[in-house]
Structure 1
Amino acid sequence: MMMPAAPETDAVRLREAMTESLKTSGALDDPAWRAAVAAVPRHRFVPGFYLPAQEPDEHGLTVWEPVTADADYGRWLAAAYSDRTLITQFDEQEPDWAAPRVRHGGTPTSSATLPSLVLRMWADAGIAEGHAVLEIGTGSGYSTALACERLGSAGITSLDADPKRLETAATALHSCGYTPTLAVADGWYGYWPEAHFDRVVAVCSFRAVPPALIAQTRPGGKILLTLSGWMYGYARVLLTVSGDGTAEGTLLPGTVSFMSARSHAAPAFGNPAHWVAGLPEKARPVRHGPERITAATAEAFHLRYLAQCAVPDAQLTTFEDTVVLVDVVSGSAASLTPRGPGWDVREAGPVRLWERIEGVLDAFDASGRPGPGRFRLCVRGDEQFLSHPRLPSLPLPSVGYGRASTTGPSASRRMPGSGR
C-alpha cells in the first residue's frame, strides 16, 4: 500500500489518542511531559521496524515482519503510536528498509522503547529544568526528542555506540528542530567533553556501574541505570553521587529490562551438550529448583539478578529437558534435570554454580524474602556491592576497571552538526 500524501495530518489524531491513553494509565501525570508527548512526532523516528508474527516458524523461532510506511501505511502509523517497543535492528546489522526481509529469530540490538517506559525512566531520574542530562543509548532518538521538548536541546547529550543508528536518529531529531549534543561513543566511558552532568540515564544495561559516570556526575547528581548480566537477570538502581566520588542508591521495583551495552554482551559458549557430557555421573537432589529464578513472576525476576551476582560469569540455557549453567571464564558447569517432583544437579569445575545460587536462595528465604527496595547498591572506588541488613553482601563483577582513565577524555567522536 502506498503512503498517503499527508502522514503528518494522520499522525495528529493517533498522537492525541496515545497521549490520552498514557494519561489514563498513569504514565503521564506530569503536565510538562504530557505536552512533550503530544508534541513529538514518534513516526518520524521509526521509518521502519519489525513486529513479531503471531506464530513461530517450524523451528520455533520468532518470525519478525518488517513494517514500513510504503509496505503497510496503516499498520506502520498505528504501531508508531502504540505503547510498545519497536525493534529497529537485529544482530548489529542495519536493515535495508527500501527492500526489507522477514527475519527468523535473531538478537535485537536496537529499538524504539515503548513510550510509557521512556517516560518512567525520565520521571524516575527526576530530571527538571536547568539540568544537564546525559542519555546513554540514543536508539531511535524518540526518548532524546522528548527530553529536548521538555527541557530544551541545550542541556541534553546523547550517546550511541552505533554510528548508523545515531546518524538516523540525528536526521530525525534535526528534522523536528531538536539540536542536542550527539556523539558516537561507548557509554561505559560517558562523555567528558560535556561533563559534568546533573542526571545520567542509561537505556542500555551494564554488568556494573561505569566508574566514568560517577566521575562525570556532579555531587548530589543522580545516575539511573539498569544492571544486567549473562544470565539475563536485571535490576534498576537510582544512585546519588557524593562529593567524595562514591555513590549509593536502592534498587527500584518493577521488571524492566534493556539490551546490554554491546561491550557487555554475553560471550558465545558453544554447544550445551558438550558441557553436559563433561559432568560427573553422580548427582544430588537440589534444595531449590530452577523455577525459583526462571518463573514468570516479579520475585523470580528479582531473584535471578541476586543469583547472577553469586555467579557473575555464568550463563543459563535449556537443553532438551535439562537446565544448564555454563561459566566460560572458569570452565565450570552445572546441569539440573527433573526427577519426579524435584530436580537433581550435577556440577563440575572450580565454581559450584548451583551450590552458590542455592546459598543466595537460602539466605533470601531466611531473611523474609526482601524485595528490591530493601537492597542498597554501594559504589566505593573499584568496589561495588549490594547490601542488605540480613544478607551477606553481593559483589558486582569487576568489569572494565582499568580499561580507561576516569579523569580524561573518552574515545568518541561527535556527529557532524551536533552540539549546543
Structure 2
Amino acid sequence: MNWRPHAQALAESVTHRSSRWRDPVAGTPRHLFVPRWWERADARWALQAPHDEGQWYAAAYRDTSLVTRVGPHHADRAKADDHPTGRPTSSATLPSLVVSMLRHAYLDDGDQLLYVGTGTGYGTALAARRLHCEQVTSVDVDPYLVETARERLDTIALGPRVETADATGPLPVAAESTDSLVSMVSVRTIPTSWLTALCLGGRLVTTIAGTSLLVTAEKDNDGGATGHVQWDRAGFMPVRHGDDYPPSLAPLLAAARHQDGEEVTTGPYPVVQVEEAWDLDSMLSLTAPGIVHEYREHKGQRTAIMAHADGSWARATAEGTGRPTVHQGGPQRLWDILDGIRQDWLATGELPVRGARVFISPEGRTILARGEWHAQL
C-alpha cells in the first residue's frame, strides 16, 4: 500500500500550498515513526498495533497526537494485554502543531536548529528535510527514544545528529552555535543552557509548563532574551529528568471527592472545566502553579475538583450553570483564587497573558508583563 497519497493529504491539511513545510510533510512517512501507540479505552490504556496497513495509515496520517509512552512503558516494547497506568510521557505530536512550532522559529536556509524533545523522530525528520541533516541537532532525555529515532531516520536516508541529554542541563552543541531552538517539551523557566546555546539574535520557541502559553524570544546582548507570548495556543508535556514524572496528586483528588470542607460557601460563577478553558487555566497556573484538576458531569450536575501538593483542595458542585456549593480545605483557598481570576476577567474584558511581553534574564528568570500586570515564573 502506498503511503505517499496519505502524506500528501496530510500536508494539504496542515500547510498552505506555498509553505516551505508542505514538501517535508508530504515526503515524510509518519507511519514509520509510530508503528504502535497507546489509546485510552474503558478508563485504561490499551495498545494499538494494527496489522492492517489501511488502519495504520488512517491513524498515522491524521492530524492528531498519538501517545507512544505511558509512565516508563513504551508501546514499541509492550504486549497486547499490557495496560499501563500513569501519565503519558512521550507522544507523536499532531503534525499541525509540529509545523506551527517550527514556523515560529523563522528558519532561514543556512540556520542551525536545536530541536528539544526528539520523541518519535518525526519532527526531527521534517526539520532535516526543510534544512539539511548537518544543520539539525535533536535531543531527548530517553536513550531508547534516541536510539529508535536514529534507526527510523536512517531508514529514510536522514542522518541529523540525535543525542541523549536532559534538556535542562548541558547540551551537545557549542555555545552560541544555534540560530533557533524549538522545544517540544514545556518548561517553567528557561534553562540557562538554552540561552548559552543560542547565538546573538537567536530565536527561542517554547511553551510554559502547566499552561497553553507559547513563547518566542530572541537572545539579547546581555545573554538573556526578550520576546512575546504568542496569540497561538500550544500544550506539551513538561520536561522530565528521568524515566517518569514524580508521583501524581491522584490520592488528594480522590480524598477531595467526598470530604467536608473547612470552609463551605456558595460561589458566584458556574462550575467550569478548567483544563478545557485554556486561557483561564493558564492564568491560574501562573497565579498558583501546581494545581491538578478533575471534572465530571452526571445527570446535569457538574463537579470540579482541584488539589495542590501543599494539601489544599477544593470541590465545587452545581446543577447546570447554577451557583455552586464550594468546599475548600488546606492552606490555600483554590476555588477563591480561580474566582478572583474570573472576576478580573469580567472587570477588564480580557486576561492579560495573551500578547504579554517576555523578559528572560541570562540566568533564565522569566517575567511576563502586560500593562500593569506581571508574573514571574
Separation (CA, whole Å) in 2 of partners of 1:227 and 1:368: 24
Identify which range, 362-371 or 161-170, moves more after superposition. Answer: 362-371
Separation (CA, whole Å) in 2 of partners of 1:29 and 1:204: 28
- Correspondence 1:351 to 2:332: yes
Change (3 A) 1:242 1:98: closer
**Which whole-Å deviations, capped at 9, do the CAs of 1:207-265 have from their partners, x for residues lacking one?**
23223212321221111111122xxx321111222111222222222342212222494
Name 1:338's counterpart in structure 2. 318
Alpha-carbon distance, 1:124 to partner:
1.3
Name 1:406's counterpart in structure 2. none
Alpha-carbon distance, 1:311 to partner:
0.8
Name 1:309's counterpart in structure 2. 286
Match of 1:67 among 49, 52, 62: 49
Conservation of the 8 A alpha-carbon contact between 2:271 and 2:318: no
Name 2:201's counterpart in structure 1. 220
**Which whole-Å deviations, capped at 9, do the CAs of 1:311-336 have from their partners, x for residues lacking one?**
113222248964222221x3322232
Separation (CA, whole Å) in 1 of partners of 2:70 and 2:258: 32
**Which whole-Å deviations, capped at 9, do the CAs of 1:285-326 have from their partners, x for residues lacking one?**
2234441734x4xxx211111111111132222489642222
Separation (CA, whole Å) in 1 of partners of 2:25 and 2:344: 44
Change (3 A) 1:377 1:362: farther
Match of 1:242 among 212, 220, 224: 220
TM-score, normalised via structure 2 length = 0.86
What is the letter of the counterpart of residue 343 of structure 1? Answer: P
**Which whole-Å deviations, capped at 9, do the CAs of 1:50-97 have from their partners, x for residues lacking one?**
456xxx42xxx15635134xx222211332233222222222212355
What is the letter of the counterpart of residue 13 of structure 1? Answer: P
Change (3 A) 1:177 1:45: same
Q: Which sections of structure 2, spanning at least 5 residues, go unmatched?
A: none
Name 2:272's counterpart in structure 1. 291
Pairs within 5 Å for 1:21-420? 21-23=13-15, 26=16, 29-30=18-19, 32-51=20-39, 56-57=41-42, 61=43, 64-68=46-50, 71-96=51-76, 99-101=79-81, 103=83, 106-189=86-169, 191-196=171-176, 197-229=178-210, 233-263=211-241, 265=245, 267-269=247-249, 270-275=251-256, 280-291=261-272, 293-294=274-275, 296=276, 300-318=277-295, 322-328=303-309, 330-338=310-318, 341-370=322-351, 372-380=353-361, 381=363, 383-391=365-373, 393-396=374-377
Higher normalized contact order (CA 8 Å, seq sep 6+, divided by chain length): 1
Conservation of the 8 A alpha-carbon contact between 1:157 and 1:194: no
Change (3 A) 1:15 1:277: closer
Alpha-carbon distance, 1:144 to partner:
0.5
Q: Which sections of structure 1, spanning at least 5 residues, go unmatched?
A: 1-6, 397-420
**Which whole-Å deviations, capped at 9, do the CAs of 1:347-384 have from their partners, x for residues lacking one?**
33333322233333333332221465432222224532
Name 1:414's counterpart in structure 2. none
Separation (CA, whole Å) in 2 of partners of 1:317 and 1:221: 40
Structure 2 residue matching 1:125: 3-state secondary structure:
coil
Separation (CA, whole Å) in 1 of partners of 2:175 and 2:324: 52
Name 1:418's counterpart in structure 2. none
Separation (CA, whole Å) in 2 of partners of 1:282 and 1:37: 54
Alpha-carbon distance, 1:141 to partner:
0.6
TM-score, normalised via structure 1 length = 0.78
Alpha-carbon distance, 1:342 to partner:
0.5
Change (3 A) 1:334 1:79: closer
Separation (CA, whole Å) in 1 of partners of 2:213 and 2:252: 29
Separation (CA, whole Å) in 1 of partners of 2:347 and 2:273: 15
- Correspondence 1:11 to 2:3: yes
